[in-house]
């Protein structure tokens, strides 16, 4: 933790290379124990205005830097992030409750974003357009100016790194509002970026509550581009705020992703991915494989193996590195429990409650057992809405047509996976499923720096990750010269 943070004992907004202590605070709670980790500055419109003003000032010079200069800085940031790997992983694990191994993976992916975009920007070109021998026409990609980012609490370091790396690489400057529950790694990242040589104001962080600091950032007239990761309901509000000012937005929203398992699939090979896609980060992943669509002929075999695997999962505090940590808050655990209260107990093959075997400090944590709910009605709430917990809903199908209909049978379209040895089946399902990412005989939840990521339908629009993200953070200028 930075020296300023240790002195203040408060996680504060970080603007123009310095901390802004706040007289109003709220508790930062460790979901593994329920204990208070410290205080978080409750910033508002004034701090947001300072942050945007600082970013605007820094952008005037930053946009004039060469791709090579921006590349050098981003690569240096990547190295600096890895230099603070232990510290950042600990902050991430304490704030989110995720197992330490997963927190280390998040730090590594965060560094990879800075390195990837630092290297990619040197090969990001405009195009020439052959109108005729007496005309020279070409396009330029230019930054928007100041980008605003409001991110979720499930992967705070990964989410903000992929956004700010792309923003800085393309000549923008950025202001971030981390989630209420998980601000510390983002503030520490801002310190590291400044220490690596970024100009003051290139990346600013405003801590606080979504309804106050988040809303002020979304509505600020000095923001030229908005990015949001979170629920579809809040995303709609962000989109309205952007539309009021006619600025572009990238929205990564909810998901109800499906693993579709055909009878010829190698079930034992698929099982680790089927399990991991549900329990990684305690199921608090927008791309979690929260629906398991299984051919009727193998439903009992697959569910039996999933239940067996779930019942072997170790549970505990994130910093102790179990396989499954707590949910991010007691409120989130209550939300997950509400879904289970709506299903018949005979459908719950394992889990369905908080564990009763935890004592001592862990008794105050927000834990929930990995849960399998069988024979789910496709129209039920647990099949239609994001649970955001370690819960999988099992549905069965008879043929490809029914499988595709079930896979597409929600408002979401973020990720899906198809498990089959038949290439014809795989290609037909890839064409039929409406989702932004489709995997065959593998599953991706988190990571995948090179892979464009975003949703269809109510899972959002625009793309993060991969080279496509560079297009999202730049605007095209067309130049035509008569020779």
Burial class (CB in 10 A: 0-12, 13-18, 19+), 133: exposed
Give dist(CA 170, CA 62) in Å, integer.
Answer: 10
Contact 457, 413 (CB under 8 A): yes
Catalytic site residue from 252, 386, 464, 472? 252
The per-residue b/e assignment along 54-63, b for 16 or more CB within 10 angstroms, e otherwise, is bbbbbbeebb
Q: In Å, what is the CA distance from 147 to each residue of 191, 216, 240, 327, 369?
A: 18, 14, 17, 30, 39
Contact 319, 94 (CB under 8 A): yes
Strand, helix or coil at 215? Answer: helix
Q: Say what the alpha-carbon torsion angle 470, 194, 24, 216 is, to the nearest 10 degrees.
A: -30
Q: Is 450 a catalytic residue?
A: no
- What sign has the CA pseudo-torsion 111, 115, 117, 118? positive
Termini Cα distance of the chain:
58
Q: For 116-236, list the strands marked E by DSSP.
A: 128-132, 135-143, 146-150, 173-177, 203-205, 225-229
Q: What are the beta bridge partners of residue 10?
A: 39
Give dist(CA 352, CA 331) in Å, integer.
Answer: 16
Contact 168, 202 (CB under 8 A): yes
C-alpha angle 49/465/208, rounded to 5°?
30
- Look at residues 449, 475, 463 and name the one whose alpha carbon lies nearest to residue 113: 449
Contact 95, 182 (CB under 8 A): yes
Give dist(CA 471, CA 483) in Å, integer.
Answer: 29
> Which residues are catalytic, by number?
252
């Amino acid at each position: 933790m930075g020296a300023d943070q240790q002195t203040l004992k408060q996680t504060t907004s970080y603007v123009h290379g310095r901390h802004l202590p706040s007289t109003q605070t709220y508790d930062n709670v460790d979901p593994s124990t329920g204990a208070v980790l410290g205080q978080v500055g409750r910033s508002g419109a004034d701090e947001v205005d300072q942050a945007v003003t600082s970013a605007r000032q820094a952008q005037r010079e930053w946009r004039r830097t060469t791709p090579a200069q921006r590349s050098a800085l981003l690569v240096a940031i990547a190295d600096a992030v890895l230099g603070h790997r232990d510290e950042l992983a600990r902050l991430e694990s304490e704030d989110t409750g995720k197992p330490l191994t997963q927190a280390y993976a998040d730090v590594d992916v965060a560094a990879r974003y800075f390195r990837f975009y630092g290297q990619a920007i040197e090969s990001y070109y405009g195009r020439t357009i052959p109108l005729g021998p007496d005309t020279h026409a070409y396009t330029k990609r230019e930054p928007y100016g100041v980008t605003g980012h409001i991110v979720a609490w499930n992967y705070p370091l990964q989410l903000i790194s992929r956004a700010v790396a792309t923003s800085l690489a393309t000549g923008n400057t950025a202001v971030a509002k981390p989630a209420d529950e998980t601000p510390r790694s983002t503030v520490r990242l801002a310190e590291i970026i400044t220490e690596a040589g970024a100009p003051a104001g290139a990346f600013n962080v405003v801590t606080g509550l979504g309804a106050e600091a988040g809303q002020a950032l979304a509505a600020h007239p000095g923001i030229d581009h908005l990015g949001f990761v979170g629920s579809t309901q809040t995303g709609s509000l962000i989109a309205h705020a952007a539309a009021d000012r006619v600025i572009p937005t990238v929205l990564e929203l909810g998901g109800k992703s499906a693993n579709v398992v055909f009878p010829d699939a190698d079930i034992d090979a698929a099982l680790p991915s089927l399990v991991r896609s549900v329990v990684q980060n305690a199921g608090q992943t927008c791309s979690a494989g929260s629906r398991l669509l299984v051919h009727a002929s193998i439903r009992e075999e697959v569910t039996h193996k999933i239940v067996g695997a779930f019942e072997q999962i170790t549970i505990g505090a994130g910093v102790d590195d179990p396989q499954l940590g707590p949910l991010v808050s007691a409120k989130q655990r209550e939300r997950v429990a509400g879904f289970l209260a709506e299903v018949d107990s005979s459908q719950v093959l394992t889990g369905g409650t908080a564990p009763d075997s935890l004592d001592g400090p862990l008794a105050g944590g927000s834990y929930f057992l990995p849960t399998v709910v069988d024979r789910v009605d496709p129209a039920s709430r647990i099949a239609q809405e994001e649970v955001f917990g370690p819960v999988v809903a099992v549905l069965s199908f008879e043929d490809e047509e029914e499988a595709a209909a079930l896979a597409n049978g929600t408002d979401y379209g973020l990720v899906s996976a198809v498990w089959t040895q038949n290439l014809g089946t795989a290609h037909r399902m890839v064409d039929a499923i409406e989702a932004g990412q489709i995997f065959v005989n593998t599953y991706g939840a988190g990571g995948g720096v090179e892979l464009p990521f975003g949703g269809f339908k109510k899972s959002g629009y625009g793309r993060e990750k991969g080279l496509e993200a560079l297009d999202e953070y730049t605007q095209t200028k067309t130049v035509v010269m008569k020779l």
